[in-house]
Amino acid sequence: MDIKEIYNILKLAFEEGIGEPVTDKPVDPYMIIDAKNINAVCLFLRDEERLQFDYLNCLSGVDYDKDNLAVVYHLSSFALNHKLVLKTVVPKTDPNVPTVSDVWAAADWHEREAYDLIGVIFENHPDLRRILCPEDWEGHSLRKDYKVPEFYNGMKVPY
Amino acid sequence: MAEIRTEDMVLNMGPQHPSTHGVLRLQLTLEGEIVIDVKPYIGYLHRCFEKHTEAMTYPQVIPYADRMDYVNAMSNELSYVIAVEKLMGIEVPERVEYIRVIMSELQRLASHLLAIGTYGNDAGAFTPFLYCMATRERVLELFEITCGARLLYNYFWVGGLSHDIPVNFQKKVKEFVEFFKPKVSELNNLLSFNKIFIERTANIGILPADYAINAGAAGPVLRGSGIKFDLRKNDPYSIYPKFDFDIPVGQGLKGTVGDNWDRYMVRIHEMEESIKIIEQAIDNIPEGDVQSQIPKRVKPPVGEVYARTETPKGELGYYIISDGSLNPYRVKARSPSFCNLSLIRALSKGYMIADVVMTLGSLDIVLGCIDR
């Protein structure tokens, strides 16, 4: 099933918050979903008979542009063998996105990583801690405006 | 017994512990010898791969991709170059595709041999480890005559290969295939059907199929649970559709479907399938160039791509966002070990401490791939 058909199904199920598919750029088309809807949309995508997106391939946090962060979801279906890319864009001043770790257990660590490196805060996540950086690290290193601190716990950071 | 006060004990396994296969810390909560909770702590090997890529050009990322899963560098490179090629719309020559497939399958053998050898080691069987390492050495020799490096190759480039295979490569590979064929049954006699080994692995760490999918398990861990899914067949890339091979799955032969023994056995069978692919490919390498005509400066158009390949450990995906400049805007690596390790908590609860070691080994993790 291609992204247009999936969009039509979603459009019928949800009144608002579903963006038009972006298909003009290479290579993967995607849809932008409102952050407040993302959990409900994902649950729908997983459980709907015609879609059955049972597998979360990848969840990435992205420093989207000057004012926004994004979370990108790559989904696929074992049963129907189709794929989908979703995005949700949130402002840097209020980077709250509902978790999808209750929909796919795979999202748990991916969301911790996105929180650690990008600084997206996942609401209702069961265990939102840093995962790759030490727990007392400051800042989110994959932000474009990130500056490496000179000292960490009194130790000089090399490079 | 009720009046005896008991207390849970918290025990750190790692970060420096041979059975954690790298610098991984597992915080075990124990009730006697029974594990009631596992909390993995990762990040000890975090080298900021994703941040580094943003300051490099596209071809410069390839050696860094090598160092993700450092015992499996060819497959890492393959996934990355396929992602960039897909983004730029590059077709690579047939000769390149053949060589890439042969190298990836040889790499699969090397990676599985290491996984199997160290797994036997975890169970206390030291001899199979030496046998596996000796066999793996033969694979590394093939890589060494090809590109000079034994572990980190920088061999697959965007649009082709760094250079052609040496003249005697095909002969050497055929010799290796003949050398390798009896090794599988040797390993089976030595380890797979050993009674002690079976008792240590069967019926332990059972991963049900529906949870495996939900939790993002990949590769032999997923197939061990009986799910016939392999990206080489289900979402084909390169020239894999040309070859005839099976997807081995766990059948619960010695215990329950999805237990440690099943995951182990999937790897044994996959080695046989890889040999099949190499045999089909090695005689049919077409003549030609090993570099397609691509611009000297690799500069993909504005866009994004998610390309995934089946590495020995499972689905490795690269999500690349290009802003049209020489450096990638964002590279995210979806590493199979990362997803597989997150299962450890569900798989270890209720088992003994010694079983945690066996379950962890059956996931075949490489910390370089997890921490990036």
Residues in chain A closer than 8 A to B301 (CB atoms): 25-26
Chain A residue with minimum CA distance to B346: A105
Domain annotation covers residue B35? no
**B319, A74: Cβ pair inside 8 Å?**
yes
Between vectors from CA B71 to CA B140 and to CA B110, what angle results, nearest 5°?
45
Specify the higher pLDDT residue, A58 or A22.
A58
Q: How close B346 comes to chain A (CA, Å)?
A: 11
Chain B partners of A85 at a C-beta cutoff of 8 Å?
306
ipTM score: 0.89
Q: What is the pLDDT of residue A159?
A: 59
Q: Give me the sheet containing A83-91, strands edge to edge.
A: A31-32, A83-91, A68-76, A55-62
Domain ranges of chain A: 3-156
Q: Residue holding tokens 């391939």?
A: A57
CA gap A130, A141 in Å, rounded: 12
Contacts of A106 in chain B (CB under 8 A): 214-216, 339, 342
B14 to chain A nearest CA, in Å?
Answer: 16
Residues of chain A positioned with their CB less than 8 A from the CB of B23: none
Distance from the A98 Cα atom to the nearest Cα atom in chain B, whole angstroms: 18
How many CB pairs lie under 8 A apart between chains A and B? 88
Check if A74 contacts B (Cβ < 8 Å).
Answer: yes
Residues constituting chain A: 159
Cβ–Cβ below 8 Å for A131 and B227: no
Phi, psi of B193 (to 5 degrees): -105, 20
Domain count, chain B: 1
Are the beta carbons of A28 and B338 separated by less than 8 Å? no
User: Nearest CB to A78: which of B42, B213, B215?
Assistant: B213
d(Cα B105, Cα B224) in Å, to the nearest integer? Answer: 19
What tokens does A41 get? 């949309």
Residue B185 belongs to domain with CATH number? 1.10.645.10
Put simply, the answer to whether B229 touches A81 (Cβ < 8 Å) is no
Residue that is written with structure tokens 């290491």 in the block: B114
For residue B132, give how far its alpha carbon lies from the nearest alpha carbon of chain A (Å): 32
Q: Kindly give the pairing relationship between strand B156-157 and strand B160-161.
A: antiparallel
Q: How far apart are CA B95 and CA B130, in angstroms?
A: 35
The contacts found for B140-144 with CB under 8 angstroms, 24 or more apart, are B140/B110, B142/B106, B142/B169, B142/B172, B142/B173, B142/B176, B143/B74, B143/B103, B143/B106, B143/B107
Joined together, the tokens standing for residue A59 give 């969840």
Which residue, among B132, B178, B138, has the nearest Cα to B279 in the 3D structure? B178
Q: Is residue B16 a part of any domain in this protein?
A: no
A63 shares contact with chain B (CB less than 8 Å): yes
Of A27, A56, A109, the CB nearest to B338: A109
3-state secondary structure A85-123: EEEEEEECCCCEEECCCCCCCCHHHHHHHHHHHCCCEEE
Q: Assess contact for B215 and B227: CB atoms under 8 A.
A: no
pTM, to two decimals: 0.90
Q: What is the pLDDT of residues B203-253, one digit of tens each?
A: 888 889 889 999 989 889 999 898 888 888 888 888 888 898 999 988 888
Closest to B151 in 3D by CA, of B339, B368, B301, B305: B368
Domain of B329 in residue numbering reads as 57-371
Contacts of B86 (CB under 8 A, 6+ apart): A27, B305, B307
A142·B227 Cβ contact <8 A: no
User: Checking DSSP bridges between strand A151-152 and strand A155-156, what pairing results, if any?
Assistant: antiparallel
CA distances from B307 to B65, B153, B169, B331 (A): 14, 21, 29, 11
A3-156 domain in CATH 3.10.129.10? Answer: no
- The pLDDT score that the predictor gives to residue B2 is 66
Q: Answer yes or no: do B214 and A105 touch at CB < 8 A.
A: yes
Domain membership of residue B6 (yes or no) is no
| Contact list, A84 vs chain B (CB under 8 Å) | none
Give me the residues of chain B with pLDDT under 50, please.
none
Q: What is the pLDDT of residues A34-91, one digit of tens each?
A: 888 888 888 888 888 888 888 999 999 998 888 889 999 999 988 888 888 888 999 9
Per DSSP, which regions of chain B are E strands?
9-13, 16-17, 22-23, 25-31, 34-41, 156-157, 160-161, 303-311, 314-322, 330-334
Q: Which of A46, A60, A102 to mutate to test the interface with B (most CBs of B within 10 A)?
A: A60
Whole-number pLDDT of residue B17: 77
* B55's tokens: 């300051």
Pick from B50, B86, B303: CB nearest A25: B303
